[in-house]
Amino acid sequence: MTKKIAVLPGDGIGTEIVAEAVKVLEYLNADMDLGLVFEYGLIGGAAYDAHGTPFPDQTLALAKQADAILLGAVGGYKWESLDISMRPEKGLLGLRSHLQLFANLRPAILYPQLVAASTLKPEIVAGLDIMIIRELTGGIYFGQPRGVRLLDNGEKQGYNTLVYSESEIRRIAHVAFQTAQKRNRRLCSVDKANVLECTELWRQVVAEIGKQYPDVELSHLYVDNAAMQLVRAPKQFDVLVTSNMFGDILSDISAMLTGSIGMLPSASLDANGKGMYEPIHGSAPDIAGKGIANPLATILSVAMMLRYTFNRADAAERIEQAVNTALDANVRTADIYSEGMQKVSTPVMGDAVISALKEGV
Ligand code: IPM
Ligand code: MG
């Protein structure tokens, strides 16, 4: 049976990195007879330019009927002055929300070859392997009411709403506990329960669900402390679970622990394992079109796709191993370059992964 992948490269470096990830998938598709077929669509600024909306109906239809979605990145200077409802980010948020991709898995793994690329001391980050689970379809990103209103005194006031219902907290908590069960059985839930009622409820519900998982050690941290602990002693963590906005922020912090945001993949899953796979970084308009972006986060995202949506851990492991081998061969894109290494372009990094796949058979 064929498996359909909706490919949405998006904007900026999105097209460059997705091309490399597709190259890797096409190689494996032929080599392992995976039965994958690719269909392309527009999202973000590219969609706005072509159709006047960052989230065209045909893209939603394509994503809905696909088994998995591969997304590059959205956004860029060109669209920054548009009304917020037409910004490229709305395309990405629309996909997450319409497909109910509520569970965002963001693993932060430090490859030993990149210890020197991290801004933190080697002993703090060496061997790092943590998983951030971010709630992705609720919270302040989607809460109503929202907007900018005019006050009686003539001043404008911006407002957003942080909301979580118990069911939204329960379902992400289950994903987090079950993920921890497959790892080192430690889960830290991050909130701001000392100030925000919504996250006080978050803490209560997570603790309640925790009773069903006595084999997982549950702890709670306030988000400010969690941010500090992530740079002070990140290896104390196994799995972290948190709300949409806190997860956005904490996952960028954890990216830097691994040397570069160009290394971090992600999976955004619905209740049935259908998923959208994307690097956690953005469209990087400052380096777009230069052929210097790191494709590894996107290549590692397709490994997650093979593992989580297509149940092909064997193929996923081949990709992860090939990334390791490529790094062993000392090829580096600019973001992970250090002295003595060979600085390569985006496509050459993709080629290095494919050569490693060929050698690894
Ligand atoms: C991310 C990004 C997005 C987010 C942006 C591009 C809307 O920062 O996936 O982390 O805030 O979720
Ligand atoms: Mg982010």
Q: What is the DSSP string of 23-65?
A: HHHHHHHHHHT--EEEEE---THHHHHHHSSSS-HHHHHHHHH
282 C-alpha vs ligand 2 centroid, how far in Å?
Answer: 7
pLDDT of residue 116: 85
**Of all protein residues, whose CA lies closest to atom 7 belonging to ligand 1?**
89
Can you give the pTM of this predicted structure?
A: 0.95
Catalytic residue list: 141, 192, 224, 248, 252
Query: Which ranges of the chain does DSSP label H, i.e. alpha helix?
Result: 14-32, 45-51, 57-65, 88-98, 122-125, 166-181, 197-210, 223-232, 244-257, 296-308, 313-328, 346-359
Question: Helices then strands (H, E): number in the chain?
Answer: 12, 14
pLDDT, tens digit (0-9, with 9 covering 90-100), for 146-176: 999 999 999 999 999 999 999 999 999 999 9
Pocket of ligand 1 (CB under 6 A): 75, 89, 92, 248, 280, 282
pLDDT, tens digit (0-9, with 9 covering 90-100), for 81-115: 999 999 999 999 999 999 999 999 999 999 999 99
The least confident of 101-105, 183-187, 251-255 is 251-255
pLDDT-based confidence at 361, cuts 50/70/90?
low
Q: Is the pLDDT of residue 241 over 80?
A: yes
What is the atom index within ligand 1 of the atom nearest the CA of 73?
A: 6
**Of all protein residues, whose CA lies closest to atom 10 belonging to ligand 1?**
248
248 C-alpha vs ligand 1 centroid, how far in Å?
Answer: 6
* Mean pLDDT confidence for 43-49: 98
Instruction: Name the average pLDDT for the chain.
Output: 97
Q: Is the pLDDT of residue 269 over 80?
A: yes
192 C-alpha vs ligand 2 centroid, how far in Å?
Answer: 19
pLDDT of residue 260: 87
pLDDT of residue 360: 85
Q: Is the pLDDT of residue 25 over 80?
A: yes
pLDDT, tens digit (0-9, with 9 covering 90-100), for 191-239: 999 999 999 999 999 999 999 999 999 999 999 999 999 999 999 999 9
Quote the CA–CA distance of 159 and 80 in Å, as a whole number.
Answer: 20
**Of all protein residues, whose CA lies closest to atom 5 belonging to ligand 1?**
89
Q: Do 202 and 164 contact (CB within 8 A), yes or no?
A: yes
pLDDT, tens digit (0-9, with 9 covering 90-100), for 325-350: 999 999 999 999 988 999 999 999 99
Residue from 71, 92, 243 whose mutation best tests the ligand 1 pocket (most atoms within 8 A of CB): 92
Tokens of 110: 């430090």
Task: Give the SS3 label for residue 91.
Answer: helix
Domains of the chain: 1-102+270-361 (3.40.718.10), 111-259 (3.40.718.10)
Q: Is the pLDDT of residue 185 over 90?
A: yes
**Of all protein residues, whose CA lies closest to atom 8 belonging to ligand 1?**
248
